[in-house]
């Protein structure tokens, strides 16, 4: 309580201070008028006589101009302007009132300008000094010395928030930027250094405790270089989210988070033609099979934003369905939602659902996708990935659904495993059905690995690191293409909006990433060292795995679509009658449940399918 009373956040304390300063300025003005010599007794007595009136008048004017509303900790230019107005108006009022009372007979005329000048200094300097003390002297002794990478708008806003944070734990010491024009400049009183590649040098020179990366617009390549430079310093570092994550212009310390693997592997976002997507999907009844999965659930969230007439989620997992249903009800309370438990292999249940709810657009995301697991379970893979696709696609054709979007994978290109072969067969199925359809457009979207999806390498590595290692990588040279879940869903929605039917859309996935590099970065981003803390073990390629994935077949010529990073793969032609006969043979083999017979028929169905050596 006592500390609060005498704090400069207390109005009483501020009022006492200002009153004392008024008295000092008033008497000092008389002393300076007489050249710091003894003030004549009659004039000194008159100055003391009128002092209570000066204090009372000035205090009322200070209150009127709001000098007691400001917090000294955040004194700034507007506060100084308020002080100037209050002092100037106060001097004018005092001069005018005393002139009317006694013609200022007791006062030399130079006293008032001196009083005005002294009072301005006495009110302003303590406030600014207090802010300096709180911002730098006291703050510097208590806070962590902070280096901010990026001297742009985000860096400036972050520095301002840290400086103004009373009791804050982070003190900006310097900026680093690669823009030579900013070298040597000062932002918010903080100097700008040049060269992000010199981070380690600056950390040592300025005794830095923590690094903050404030470049939301950084590309994955730039972010990778910055992170690698920060890792070499052996001190903690955090980052602001990317531009696509910062939905407002507000940047503050609350936005800071640990650098995630998505920050250095995530690519520039796909620029979604939102107007075309809304035109295509708004007001539609939309069905998502596998809507509780990694891709399906994010697709549900993004589709909910286009204001569909209704959203139908079909999934075999009760828990996944419950989770996405609860999340959508919470985020979109006005959305008409149908959450239905069911399996795409159950054709009767599918048909009843489609006939009852009459979807106009279907996104088919339901599939088994774990490559090694499916190598020895070919019947389950064919049933779910191919027969399930056949069921929902043929029902869509029969019920005259407007558009059917198959979500496929890069593993369908020259497949070397059961999973890829079944997805390629599903692609061919949809292409053939499109040639038979007059009402339904069948569209395929193909992309690579999705970061942090269920069963993918990122959560696996995360668990292995948490357990203390080792992190297992199949081969030191194995590479994969990566994209984020939201990016994958934007691609799917864009392809649906621009597709006319029969197409296979492929995303420009950029450069493939070595899985060993991914493992090293995840270990280092966890604050650990590769080798000494967590070891990486190379266990050899698993059944069905390729060393390098492909995005399109050599006979599939890629052409532009007019949309950035979205390409169209020229589909290959398959004889309809031959393919239908092969499909019939495959289904007959499934009835026998004989793995060898099913595998033989799958190879007939997908000629480019060649089993990889484990």
Are 308 and 300 in contact by the 8 Å Cβ rule? The answer is: no
* pLDDT beneath 50, residues of the chain: 1-6, 8, 71-74, 243-249, 613-614
411 carries an active-site annotation: yes
Q: DSSP readout, 121-170?
A: HHHHHHHHHHHHIIIIIHHHHHSEEEEEE--SHHHHHHHHHHHH-TT-SE
- Residue 504 is given by DSSP the state E
- Residue 253 is given by DSSP the state G
Facing residues of 312 across strands?
287, 338
Nearest one of 291, 440, 450, 305 to 370, comparing CA atoms: 450
Query: Tokens representing 406?
Result: 């198959």
SS3 57: helix
Query: Tokens representing 566?
Result: 């979205």
- Residue 426 is given by DSSP the state H
CATH domain 274-605 topology: Rossmann fold (3.40.50)
Query: Tokens representing 120?
Result: 């301005």
Task: For 110-167, write each residue's pLDDT tens digit.
Answer: 888 888 888 888 877 777 777 666 655 555 556 788 898 888 888 888 888 887 766 5
* pTM: predicted TM-score of the whole model, two decimal places: 0.64
What's the pLDDT score for residue 533? Answer: 81
Cβ of 133: how many Cβ atoms within 10 Å? 13
Instruction: Please state, in angstroms and rounded to a whole number, the distance separating the CA atoms of residues 292 and 320.
Output: 5
Give 116's contacts (C-beta < 8 A, 6+ positions apart): 87, 88, 91
Backbone torsion region of residue 232, taken as left when φ is above 0, otherwise alpha when ψ lies between -120 and 50, otherwise beta: alpha
Give 204's contacts (C-beta < 8 A, 6+ positions apart): none
Task: For 336-387, write each residue's pLDDT tens digit.
Answer: 999 999 999 999 999 999 999 999 999 999 999 888 889 889 999 999 999 9
Instruction: Please state, in angstroms and rounded to a whole number, the distance separating the CA atoms of residues 168 and 171.
Output: 8
309: phi then psi, degrees, rounded to nearest 5: -65, -40
Instruction: Please state, in angstroms and rounded to a whole number, the distance separating the CA atoms of residues 29 and 107.
Output: 11
Task: Encode burial over 380-399: b for 16+ CB neighbours within 10 A, e otherwise.
Answer: ebbbbbbbbbbbbbbbbbee
Nearest one of 202, 129, 209 to 171, comparing CA atoms: 209
Query: How many residues does this entry show for the chain?
Result: 614
- Residue 182 is given by DSSP the state G
Query: Domain residue spans in the chain?
Result: 2-136, 143-259, 274-605
CATH domain 143-259 topology: Rossmann fold (3.40.50)
Instruction: Please state, in angstroms and rounded to a whole number, the distance separating the CA atoms of residues 27 and 207.
Output: 48
Instruction: Please state, in angstroms and rounded to a whole number, the distance separating the CA atoms of residues 300 and 324.
Output: 8
Nearest one of 599, 556, 572 to 432, comparing CA atoms: 572
Task: Encode burial over 52-79: b for 16+ CB neighbours within 10 A, e otherwise.
Answer: eebbebbbebbeebebeebebbebeeeb
Cβ of 15: how many Cβ atoms within 10 Å? 15
What's the pLDDT score for residue 112? Answer: 82
Are 338 and 311 in contact by the 8 Å Cβ rule? The answer is: yes
508: phi then psi, degrees, rounded to nearest 5: -70, 105
Are 434 and 441 in contact by the 8 Å Cβ rule? The answer is: yes
Are 535 and 461 in contact by the 8 Å Cβ rule? The answer is: no
Instruction: Please state, in angstroms and rounded to a whole number, the distance separating the CA atoms of residues 276 and 175.
Output: 42
Instruction: Please state, in angstroms and rounded to a whole number, the distance separating the CA atoms of residues 263 and 267.
Output: 8
Instruction: Please state, in angstroms and rounded to a whole number, the distance separating the CA atoms of residues 461 and 466.
Output: 8
The one catalytic residue among 238, 390, 411, 565: 411
Give 290's contacts (C-beta < 8 A, 6+ positions apart): 296, 314, 315, 344, 364, 365, 366, 367
531: phi then psi, degrees, rounded to nearest 5: 100, -65
What's the pLDDT score for residue 4? Answer: 40
Kindly state the helix (H) or strand (E) to which residue 568 belongs, with its residue range.
strand 566-569
SS3 88: helix
């Amino acid at each position: 309580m006592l500390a609060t009373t005498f704090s400069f956040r207390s109005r009483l304390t501020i009022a006492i201070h200002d009153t004392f300063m008024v008295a000092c300025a008033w008497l000092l003005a008389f002393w300076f008028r007489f050249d710091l010599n003894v003030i004549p007794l009659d004039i000194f007595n008159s100055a003391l006589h009128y002092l209570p009136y000066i204090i009372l008048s000035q205090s009322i004017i200070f209150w009127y101009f709001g000098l007691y509303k400001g917090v000294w900790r955040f004194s700034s230019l507007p506060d100084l302007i308020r002080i100037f107005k209050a002092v100037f108006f106060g001097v004018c009022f005092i001069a005018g009132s005393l002139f009317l009372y006694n013609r200022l007979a007791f006062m030399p005329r130079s006293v008032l300008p001196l009083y005005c000048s002294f009072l301005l200094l006495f009110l302003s300097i303590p406030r600014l000094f207090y802010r300096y003390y709180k911002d730098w002297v006291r703050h510097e002794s208590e806070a962590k010395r902070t280096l901010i990478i990026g001297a742009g708008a985000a860096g400036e806003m972050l520095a301002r928030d840290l400086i103004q944070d009373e009791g804050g734990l982070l003190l900006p010491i310097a900026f680093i930027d690669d823009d030579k024009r900013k070298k040597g400049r000062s932002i918010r009183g903080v100097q700008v250094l040049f060269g992000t590649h010199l981070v380690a040098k600056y950390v040592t020179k300025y005794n830095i405790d923590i690094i903050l990366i404030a470049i939301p617009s950084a590309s994955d390549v730039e972010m990778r270089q910055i992170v690698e430079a920060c890792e070499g310093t052996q001190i903690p570092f955090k980052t602001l989210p990317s531009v696509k994550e910062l939905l407002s212009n507000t940047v503050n310390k609350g936005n800071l988070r640990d650098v995630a693997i998505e920050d250095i592997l995530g690519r520039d976002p796909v620029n979604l033609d939102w107007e075309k997507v809304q035109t295509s999907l708004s007001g539609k009844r939309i069905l998502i099979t596998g809507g509780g999965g990694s891709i399906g659930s994010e697709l549900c969230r993004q589709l909910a934003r286009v204001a569909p007439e209704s959203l139908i989620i079909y999934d075999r997992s009760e828990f996944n369905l419950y989770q996405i249903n609860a999340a959508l009800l919470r985020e979109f309370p006005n959305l008409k939602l149908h959450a239905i438990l069911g399996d795409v292999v159950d054709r009767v249940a599918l048909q009843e659902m489609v006939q009852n709810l009459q979807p106009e657009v279907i996104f088919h995301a339901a599939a088994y996708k774990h490559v090694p697991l499916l190598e020895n379970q070919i019947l389950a893979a064919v049933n779910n990935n191919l027969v399930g696709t056949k069921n929902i696609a043929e029902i869509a054709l029969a019920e005259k659904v407007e558009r059917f979007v198959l979500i496929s994978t890069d593993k369908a290109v020259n497949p070397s495993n059961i999973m890829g072969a079944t997805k390629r067969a599903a692609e061919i199925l949809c292409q053939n059905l499109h040639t038979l359809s007059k009402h339904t457009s069948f569209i395929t979207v193909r992309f690579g690995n999705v970061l942090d999806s269920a069963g993918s390498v990122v959560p696996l590595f995360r668990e292995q690191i948490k357990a203390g290692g080792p992190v297992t990588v199949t081969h030191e040279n194995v590479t994969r293409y990566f994209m984020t879940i939201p990016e994958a869903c934007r691609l799917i929605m864009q392809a649906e909006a621009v597709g006319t039917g029969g197409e296979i859309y492929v995303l420009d996935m950029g450069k493939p990433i070595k899985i060993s590099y991914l493992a090293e970065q995840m270990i280092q981003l966890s604050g650990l060292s590769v080798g000494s803390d967590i070891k990486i073990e190379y266990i050899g390629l698993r059944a069905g795995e390729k060393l390098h994935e492909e995005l399109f077949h050599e006979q599939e010529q890629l052409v532009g679509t007019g949309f950035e990073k979205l390409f169209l793969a020229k589909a290959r032609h398959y004889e309809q009658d031959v393919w239908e006969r092969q499909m019939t043979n495959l289904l007959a083999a499934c009835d026998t449940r004989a793995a060898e017979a099913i595998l033989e028929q799958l190879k007939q169905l997908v000629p480019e399918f060649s089993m990889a050596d484990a």
